[in-house]
């Protein structure tokens, strides 16, 4: 009988998102999303992303290595 919030699925893994971590399902997925940010896979025109810093972050954050 418990009501579940109508949150969209996690954009990272597709599982039901949690209110606590939305729009993600967990902190891990949020971190993965952040890693993609730094890797330059995301293009957000409204945000300034220094391309020179991008390379530095790519070395520190490797989302693919987090899987498992």
Contact set with Zn ion (CB under 5 A): 10, 12-13, 15, 25, 29
Q: Which residues are annotated as a binding site for Zn(2+)?
A: 10, 13, 25, 29
Nearer to Zn ion, 26 or 39 (CB): 26
Instruction: Residue 35: name the closest of 66, 4, 14, 2 by CA.
Output: 66
Q: Which residues are annotated as a binding site?
A: 10, 13, 25, 29
Nearer to Zn ion, 27 or 56 (CB): 27
Maximum separation of any 2 CA atoms in the chain, in Å: 52
Nearer to Zn ion, 13 or 49 (CB): 13
Q: For 23-30, which contacts have Cβ atoms below 8 Å and span 24 or more sequence positions?
A: 28/66
Shortest Cβ 20–Zn ion spacing (Å): 12
């Amino acid at each position: 009988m418990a009501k579940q919030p109508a949150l969209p699925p996690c954009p990272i893994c597709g599982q039901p998102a949690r209110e606590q971590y939305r729009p993600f399902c967990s902190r891990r997925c949020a971190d993965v999303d952040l890693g993609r940010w730094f890797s330059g896979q995301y293009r957000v025109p409204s945000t300034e992303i220094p391309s020179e810093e991008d390379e530095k972050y790519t070395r520190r954050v490797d989302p693919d290595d987090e899987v498992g």
